[in-house]
Structure 1
Amino acid sequence: MSTADTPAGPAALDTAALRQLLAAQDAPRLIDVRTPGEFESAHIPGSCNVPLDLLREHRIELRAHLDEQAVLICHSGQRAAQAGQVLADAGLPGLRVLTGGITAWQAAGAPVATGRARWHLERQVRLVAGSVVLSSVLASTVAPKAKWVAGFIGAGLTFAAVSDTCAMGLLLAKLPYNRGPRTDLDGVLTALTGHGPVPHGGRTR
């Protein structure tokens, strides 16, 4: 595939610009691609939770219910950018990503709906990776081969940075702690077509 034929990646949109768009009559649809647990903790009111793993698996079905005005949201912008590329590859280019994600949105004092507090996925990855590396280094003082576990984690993190993916994050996202209220394709499609509530509520502040 030539460069000209490569689907365009998602465009960046900052918090101030998104707030202006949401105040307009034809406000864009907000798609939050974090885990249900993260979404339940804090999200932009009116947004729809479409976890990244579900979006990857059902991108064709979801593409039919989205348009180029949609804005993708995650914790910091990384997963939203991945979601935008997935949808671009599926034939829906031109989507926008909230720069800095929900973190930048909250830092700007913009309204959020909140629920049960949970650690965001990126923080969980740092905890697990750091704990495994520390444990393996300590264990290597009595079992020298344990150091290779730390090397394996280091290699995995390096690959994650280069490929802009994270296998550990995908695994952690499947844990019950991160699943939160159930989010399935039928529920998401119902919300996207306007025939049901946006998945997961919360109190606004």
Structure 2
Amino acid sequence: MDSSGRVLRGAELVSALSEALSNVVFEAQEFSAGYGDDCVKLRSFASELVRDLTADFERYREGLSHLKLARGGGGSLLSQLEVREPRLLGVIRFTSEVSRGLEGELSVEEKRRIEAEAMRMALEYERSQGREPVDVSSGEHFDILSRDPRTGEVRYIEVKGLAGPSLLAELSEAEYRVALEKRDRYWLYIVCNIAKGEPQLVAVQDPLSKMSVSPVGAVKYLLKPKVQS
């Protein structure tokens, strides 16, 4: 239904879904395993929805047939429709700059805890993918150097931990230079929703090309999801 509570059907529903998809502002390159449970729940919900819709469709077709509005013998367009099991196409996340201000209100202790949790999740994620990560944050202008022994791939990873659902990240001048130099070997790992106890990791390869970048002050750059036109 729309914002006024009116139920959308048919062409109106398709149009509304198309508009929502066209307004997606961010496409993540990778998702952490943490999305698994949500995907299972989504598939379960979708399966139940399809079963309900199938039953409604059959009743609708029988009603049309009774009114002689549908041709028999398999010639009807309705009889040619096939309902299949749903397939998850992706996850849409909406974000805004409002939550960025909330991050600034955190205490120093809270920020340290969130940063530590983000690093823990990023290292755990790398190991789960078969790569060999090393924490280099104390001596480099990025956080993790990760190598894949199977393919030889090397990732230069900057990790940003966020308390809320924001997908905004700030890079210092030195971090920005590393991202500019490494390009497709540079990854930005944003771990959000940490304060709620439901952390989720979004990994973006070469974020300078995939995200909007704008200077913040004299020595920082703000990266945020691009708005698709």
**Short-chain TM bin:** under 0.3
More helix by share: 1
Larger radius of gyration: 2
Q: Please give the TM-score of this superposition, normalised by the length of structure 1.
A: 0.27
Q: Please give the TM-score of this superposition, normalised by the length of structure 2.
A: 0.25
